[in-house]
Amino acid sequence: MATTSAHATAAAEPHHEPSFVRKYIFSTDHKVIGIQFLFMSLFFLLIGGLLAGVIRWQLGWPTNPDMPLPGGGLLPETMVNQGIVLPEFYNSAVTMHGTIMIFFAIMPLLVGVYANYLIPLQIGAPDMAFPKLNMASFWTAAPAGVIMLAGFFVAGGHSGAGWTQYPPLSANPEFSGVYMGQQLWLISMIVLGFSSLMGAVNYVTTVINMRAPGMTWFRLPLATWALFVTAVLILLAVPVLTGALILLLFDQTIGTTFFSPEYGGEPLLWQHLFWFFGHPEVYILILPAMGFVSEIIAAGSRKPIFGYHAMVLAIIAIAFLGWGVWGHHMFQSGMNPTLGMGFMATTMVIAVPSAIKVFNWLATMWRGDLHFHTPMLHAVAFVGMFVIGGLSGVFVASTPVDIFLHDTYFVVAHIHYVLFGGSLFALYAAITFWYPKMFGRMMNPLLGKLHFWLTVLFFNLTFFPMHNLGIAGMMRRIYDPNQYEFLRPMQELNTMISIAALLLIGTQLIFAFNFFWSLFRGEPAPANPWRANSLEWAAPSPPPHGNFARTPVVYRGPYEYSSPLSVEDYLPQDDPPAEGPEPVPAPATSH
Amino acid sequence: MTMDSADVAVESTHKKPNYMAVFVGLAVLTLVEVGVAFLGLGRVTTILVLVGLAVWKAVLVALYYMHLRFEPPRLIIMVVAPLPLAFILVLAVLTEF
Amino acid sequence: MDHSAAMTLEGGPVEPGMGVPNLKLGMWVFLLSEVMFFTALIGSYIILRAAQPEAFAEPGVVLNVPLTAFNTFLLICSSVTMVKAFAAIEHGDQKGLRLWLLATVAMGACFLGVQAYEYVKLVDHGFVPFAAGYAAEGGALYGATFYTMTGFHGAHVTIGVLALIWITVRAFMGKYTRASHGGVETMGLYWHFVDLVWIILFTIVYLI
Amino acid sequence: MPWLPAQVSTFGGEIDSIFYIILVITGIIFLLVEATLLWFAFRYRHREGRKAEHIHGNWKVEVIWTTIPFIIVIALGAMSFGPWARIKMLGRFPAPGLEIGVMASQFEWMVTYPGADGRLGTDDDFQRRNQVHIPVAQPILVHLSAEDVIHSFFLPHFRVKQDAVPGMDNQVVWFEATEPGEYELACAELCGTGHTRMRGTLVVHSAADFETWYEGATQTAN
Ligand code: HEA
Ligand code: HEA
Ligand code: CUA
Ligand SMILES: [Cu+2]
């Protein structure tokens, strides 16, 4: 093992103890920033989960005075009246559940946390290319979150136009009754876009320019590959959203009419711009997850990842094809149906690289030596559930079938299988996997497994039946399905789903407890608890400022598990080869 | 790790382009553009010619002022990579209207 | 730390990195995202114009083309002075660097001045971004797209001028040398990009 | 478990059969993948003395498992083209037996029927709020529009869904009922606070019934 020395600094500056503020609040250390993002996005995950609770409460017992919303009394009467969720608040709850989960929970968890934390460690760099910019990225995201939350407290309530914000509903307060909330939503998203952008510039530059000697492109761990490609997607997709948001904000505030038809604006233009960003966005939300899962399945199987090059190519193919499919969200929107055909074709094709990834994960497990620790459980469950979400995507990709399934709960089921079954399960895997590295303590494995099994159970009980609701025609974003006769027979199932969902939300408290309890009481973690190969495990847990005592030198790919060359069943990337010429170590510093 | 350390990297020793010549080219092209716009060549021709001239100017700026001509090929590839995306977006949506 | 030291590992030379300094690479990466940002704005304009041709006026009817042609010329001049400043410091010519930078700042500021004058004149003619009170030829979309595109370009110029002032101050403090002038080069990339966007905008918005 | 609502339009059957084909294909893939996953998880779980095999991959199998899904998805796409074109492409619409206008607004459907002259847009047109009446076995052409925000014209039993976009006046939908009866018209696009109650009724009459209703309606309209 290369480095476990106690005081380590590869940075050129003399080491002096920084003040508390510099160390934990305005820190430029990529690890501290990653952890800041972690706490922030877990907080938002909780908020998003609570909003899901509101949604499910209403749908389980619609407008039922005998089942007042627990805690509803704490909310103002413009949201919840005598325990009954009002339709305005329901729309805000759905909108904000989607917005918060996607932009303030999952995206920062995947990218803000792990691109920051992992990239420098996995490529053997002391920090990001632009540490100050990195700090600015977090300190832009945090105010964006505050602005977003502020929307709940202004007169008129928060935006209720769905996370997709289709104008004219979102453009004109006359139609929605929402004034300030809508504007705060837009401003917050613009600010958040800047944060993402600063992050992305940093990640791309860092991966290109700061790799340790020997860390060639095809020796990068798949997590870093995925995060790199994700950063490129963010870089190119987010500015398009920012542009569109600005136009919408002008429509809202100064009376332009880009998207409002009275003066010639085009509502569909928004949808094109939004989904041109939006579809790459959903791959932003899955690619890092796929990267983490690749790391964890390889380490958990004690086997090299099957088809490393194919995996890399698949990541690139998904990212590339992802730009040409946005219209599949607009098949029924009034978009030219011929264009729809083209989008159907590209959408179908994009299933192929995902197939490659799924089969390679399976092949990695084949003839392995599977250790089912908590991260591995989550990673394997990811594969199982991402497949369900992906396959339901194929239904809606078929234009005629989408005529019926569009904007029904079938799509809601699809979303949650890819985003919860996919991204969030991968995140639970990642959090439990890298927790020892981040905090120097192990999470409790028993609680971890309990959380895992209950989550798998309740997750599937909640979301699998939603496919049926959609197939039976239940629309999304409706406050009270019982208004429709053909939906009334489904109330029982809806109630069942709600009970499962509430149990699911409750189960997450086990995770929260485990997370905080282990911070203080967890067993101290060794440098490499999972006996994994990539460079982050060569640094101490937690790694000091500057990460490595000496710039690591990389001799091989990241997945040399059970190699015949080693006695152990793993072979770290920086372990010098037993024989052959001793490579020249890099100069620790050039000036 | 400081950013300045990178500055030390030795500049590649390429021949300096004639910046003034590029400038004159840009100025002349601008004049031609304004002329073409009011020549009354017909809508489609005018648009094609003007777009062609604008792209020509943009390429001049990128190649010489931004030194793209003298950068490593991988940087050039990286830089032109997003352009197809821009085209896909605009062209696909244009078929709509 | 410097990773540029050539290494020989397992036979072949292994040198990660683009061969371009971080700062410059970072600027290029950032400019890629700017391309997509302006794509959203300019693309919207193209699409709206194709969808509602009657909402837009012929070139020269509302907008003052000669004035803006002059402004375009100013920006082109500022690009050449910028690149001259860079060429100067590449040869260690401090005086040249300072003078050319000052010239660039001056012309950038002039560009903004002319744009402000143009806006005032246009608003006087009832060419405003919002639908209420729009009184010029074409329709409200014309004003909205015009001000959004040129406005965001103007914002980029403003940021550029402020950054240039900072660079100029540093130049007068003697912070750039023949060996180390990444700041000037990176600033130049941004400035030329802003010029490049204007070249496209001028053609599409004023001439077509 | 809730399932597809009864199907009463001429093209609904086509949509359903594509749905079932995809269901069978993805169902098989689903079972195979999940079964393999569980089998591997069980078969290769850690046991004392087990060592994983050091296998890096195999390009041959990569090609196989790239090609097969590719062929499947292309087939699914190809299968979907025809029905999509028949249902949504203007040029392929059948000659209408009845043309009506539907204007969506917050939160109602205003249905315009041609008067005695059988043409829309003339003085004798008459309107019904949230009530669509149509004859069975006749292609119906609906001119969709929206007044304020986007709504979506959703007839679950007919497998019809089309957004009504304000400012777009050329939206048309067609369908043909195979069964008389009373069905529901839903709004499928979030359109504001009242989205949930933007419900209409669609009554499919037998040919004779429709004549009677139409007579009556034109009488009261004038
Ligand atoms: C992480 C996020 C994520 C991911 C990865 C995906 C992946 C996919 N999505 Fe999904 N999607 C969303 C998030 C995501 N989606 C969201 C949030 C929405 C709703 C937005 C809204 O309106 O609010 C949405 C909506 C959505 C729609 C619009 C539905 C509608 O509104 O009518 C469509 C339509 O084509 C679609 C398709 C697909 C397809 C084809 C994939 C493919 O990439 C899936 C590929 C994967 C597989 C197919 C499984 C693995 C493969 C195999 C096991 C091999 C064998 C398979 C075959 C041969 C088929 N998605
Ligand atoms: C990643 C994204 C994500 C996640 C995780 C979820 C999670 C859940 N969602 Fe979903 N949902 C969306 C994204 C997501 N959702 C989107 C994009 C939409 C569309 C919005 C729109 O239409 O505009 C949507 C819409 C949506 C609807 C449709 C509403 C409608 O159309 O009317 C429903 C209804 O049941 C629903 C339910 C749920 C439930 C019960 C959960 C549960 O799984 C929630 C479980 C709870 C948690 C995951 C939180 C627990 C976390 C903690 C306790 C953290 C603790 C840790 C520490 C503090 C250390 N969601
Ligand atoms: Cu109208 Cu929803
Ligand atoms: Cu999509």
Confidence of residue A567 (pLDDT cuts 50, 70, 90): confident
Q: A588, A126 in Cβ contact below 8 A?
A: no
Dist. CA D18–CA D80, nearest whole Å: 7
Q: Which residues contact C25 (CB under 8 A, 6 or more apart)?
A: A129, A205, A208, A209, B75, C18
3-state secondary structure A361-380: HHHHHCCCCECCCHHHHHHH
To test the contact with chain A by mutation, choose from C33, C39, C45, C159 the residue with the greatest count of A C-beta atoms within 10 A, namely: C33
Shortest Cα distance from C111 to chain B (angstroms)? 16
Which of A102, A274, A415 most suits a substitution to test ligand 2, by most atoms within 8 Å of the C-beta?
Answer: A415
Which structural domains are found in chain C, ordered by start? 21-207 (1.20.120.80)
- CA D151 – CA A60 distance, rounded (Å): 25
Asked whether the beta carbons of residue B88 and residue A324 sit closer than 8 angstroms, the reply is: yes
Token pair 């290369």 is found at A2
- DSSP, collapsed to helix, strand or coil, labels residue D219 as helix
Kindly report the average pLDDT of chain C as a whole number: 89
Ligand 2 centroid distance, CA of A101 (Å): 6
For the cut 80, the answer to whether the pLDDT of residue A383 exceeds it is: yes
Confidence of residue A579 (pLDDT cuts 50, 70, 90): low
- The closest alpha carbon to B4, from C205, C185, C6, D210, belongs to C185
What is the SS3 assignment for C3? coil
Interface contact flag, B7 C193, Cβ < 8 Å: no
Q: Which two tokens stand for residue A97?
A: 């559940």
Cβ of residue D108 lying under 6 Å from some atom of ligand 3: no
CA-nearest residue for atom 1, ligand 3, is D151
Nearest to A288, CA basis, from A516, A67, A117, A93: A117
CB-based burial label for A489 (10 Å; 0-12, 13-18, 19+)? exposed
pLDDT digits (tens, 9 = 90+) for D91-141: 899 999 999 999 999 999 999 999 888 888 888 899 999 999 999 999 999
Contact status, residue A114 vs residue A430, Cβ threshold 8 Å: yes
Examine the pLDDT at B41 and tell me if it is beyond 50.
yes
**Contact flag for B and D (3+ C-beta pairs < 8 Å):** no
| In the predicted structure, residue C12 carries a pLDDT above the cut 70 | no
Residue type, A519: L
- Which of A206, A326, A330, A333 is the best substitution to test chain B (most B C-beta atoms within 10 A)? A326
pLDDT at A59 over 60: yes
Q: How far is the CA of D197 from the centre of ligand 3 (A)?
A: 8
Q: A496: which residues sit within 8 A by CB, 6+ positions away?
A: A461, A465
The C-alpha R_g of chain C, in whole angstroms, comes to 21
Pairing verdict, β C8-9 and D126-129? unpaired
Q: Which residue do the tokens 């792209």 mark?
A: B55
Strand-pair category, D126-129 with D108-113: antiparallel
Cβ–Cβ under 8 Å, residues A267 and A167: yes
* Confidence class for position C145, pLDDT limits 50, 70, 90: very high
C122 to chain B, closest Cα gap in Å: 20
Query: Whose CA is closest to atom 60 on ligand 2?
Result: A52
Mutation test of the interface with chain B: which of C44, C76, C185, choosing the one with the most B Cβ atoms within 10 A?
C76
Residue D195 in contact with ligand 3 by CB distance below 6 A: yes
Testing ligand 2's pocket by substitution, the residue of A38, A40, A47, A55 carrying the most ligand atoms inside 8 A of its CB is A55
Quick check: A316 contacting B, CB < 8 Å?
no
Could you tell me if the CB of D189 is within 6 A of ligand 3?
yes
Q: What is the mean pLDDT of chain A?
A: 92
Report the alpha-carbon distance of residue A226 to residue D32 in Å, rounded. 27
| Residue D110 neighbours by CB under 8 Å, 6+ apart | D102, D103, D104, D127, D128, D129
Give pLDDT, residue A398.
96
C-beta A12 within 6 A of ligand 1: no
Chains touching chain C through at least 3 C-beta pairs below 8 angstroms are: A, B
Q: Which residues of D touch A365 (CB under 8 A)?
A: 37, 40-41, 44
CA distance A290 to A223: 8
pLDDT at A3 over 50: no
Least confident of A5-19, A151-165, A574-588, D25-39: A5-19
**pLDDT number for residue A339:** 94
Within 10 angstroms of residue C46's Cβ, the number of other Cβ atoms is 18
Query: What is residue C131's three-state secondary structure?
Result: coil
Q: Quick check: A475 and D188 CB within 8 A?
A: yes
Q: Which amino acid is at B90?
A: V
CB A127 within 8 A of CB B1: yes
Q: List, in sequence order, every residue forming a beta bridge with D155; answer none if it has no partner.
A: D160
With contacts defined as CB-CB under 8 Å, which chain A residues touch B95? 336, 338-339
The 3-state DSSP class for residue D96 equals: coil
Strands D98-105 and D139-146: parallel
Residues of B in contact with C23 (CB under 8 A): 3, 6-7
Name the token pair of A321. 């094809």
Kindly identify the ligand whose nearest atom is closest to the C-alpha of A290. Answer: 1
Q: Cα–Cα distance between A152 and A181 in angstroms, integer?
A: 7
- Closest-CA distance, D195 to chain A, in angstroms, reads 7
Which pLDDT belongs to residue A580?
53
Using alpha carbons, select from A231, A230, A285, A223 the residue that is nearest to residue A430: A223
Tell me what the mean pLDDT of segment A189-218 comes to. Answer: 95
Burial grade of D178 (CB within 10 A; 0-12, 13-18, 19 or more): middle
Between D67 and A264, the higher pLDDT residue: D67
Contact B1 A327 (CB under 8 A): no
Take residue D88 and report the two structure tokens written for it. Answer: 């949504």
Cβ–Cβ below 8 Å for D156 and A359 = no
Cβ–ligand 1 distance for A414 under 6 Å, the answer: yes
Task: Kindly state which CATH superfamily the domain A29-67+80-538 is placed in.
Answer: Cytochrome c oxidase-like, subunit I domain (1.20.210.10)
* pLDDT surpasses 90 at B12: no
Count H helices and E strands in chain C, helices first. 5, 2
Nearest to D66 among A266, A352, A562 (CB): A352
How much is the pLDDT for A589?
39
The predicted-structure confidence for A144-183, as pLDDT tens digits, reads as follows: 999 999 999 998 899 999 999 999 999 999 999 898 999 9
* Least confident piece of the model among A89-98, C26-35, C115-124, D164-173: D164-173
- Residue in this structure with the two tokens 């700042």, named with its chain if needed: C105
Residue A554: list chain C partners with CB under 8 A: 9
Angle subtended by helix axes A287-301 and A351-365, to nearest 10: 20
**3-state DSSP assignment of residue D108:** strand
Q: Which residues pair with A441 in a beta bridge?
A: A524
Residue owning tokens 């986007």: D150
Best of A412, A419, A439 for a ligand 2 pocket test (most atoms within 8 Å of beta carbon): A412
Sign of the Cα torsion C78, C79, C80, C83 reads positive
Q: What number is the average pLDDT over the span D186-199?
A: 95
Backbone angles phi, psi at A479, to 5 degrees: -80, -40
Chain A CB contacts of D84 below 8 Å: 337, 340-341, 344, 399-400
Interface contact C14-A214, CB threshold 8 A:
yes
Looking at residue C40, its pLDDT comes to 95
Ligand 1 centroid to A405 CA: how many Å?
13
Pairwise CA distance, residues C50 & C63, whole Å? 19
Burial C117-151 (b: 16+ CB within 10 A, else e): ebbeebeeeebbbbbeebebebbbbbbbbbbbbbb
Look up residue C16 and give its amino acid: P
CA distance A68 to chain D (A): 20
Predicted complex ipTM: 0.94
Spatial distance between the Cα atoms of A201 and C27, rounded to a whole number of angstroms: 8
Residue ranges per structural domain of chain A = 29-67+80-538
Residue C90 parent element (H or E): helix C65-90
CATH number listed for the domain at residues D98-221: 2.60.40.420
Q: Which residue type occupies A164?
A: T
**Which atom of ligand 1 is closest in space to residue A278's alpha carbon?**
20
Nearest 10 degrees: Cα torsion C46, C48, C51, C55:
-110
HSE, side-chain direction, 13 A CA sphere, residue A108: 30
How many CB atoms within 10 Å of residue A237? Answer: 27
Cβ pairs bridging B and C (under 8 Å): 145
Contacts of D97 (CB under 8 A, 6+ apart): D135, D138, D139, D140, D176
D77-93: b (≥16 Cβ within 10 Å) or e = bebbeebbbbbbeeeee
> Residue D73 above 50 pLDDT?
yes
Q: Closest by alpha carbon to C152, among C104, C102, C103, C205?
A: C205
Instruction: Please state the rounded mean pLDDT for residues A324-344.
Output: 95
Tell me if D213 sits within 8 A of D133, measured CB to CB: yes
Cα A393 to ligand 1 centroid, rounded to whole Å: 4
pLDDT, tens digit, 9 for 90 and up, residues A232-289: 999 999 999 999 999 999 999 998 999 988 888 899 999 999 999 999 999 999 999 9
What tens digit of pLDDT does each residue of A4-50 get? 333 333 444 445 666 777 777 888 999 999 999 999 999 999 999 99
HSE-up (13 A, CA, CB side) for residue D210 = 20
Q: Which residue of A has its CA nearest to C129?
A: A256
> Rounded distance, CA C206 to CA D1, Å?
62
Locus of tokens 């958990």: A300
| Residue-level pLDDT at A15 | 54
Q: Tokens for A233? A: 């997607």
E-strand ranges in chain C read 8-9, 12-13
Ligand 3 atom closest to Cα of residue D187: 2
Contacts of B40 in chain C (CB under 8 A): none
C touches B (3+ CB pairs < 8 Å)?
Answer: yes
Residue A244: closest CA among A265, A219, A223: A265
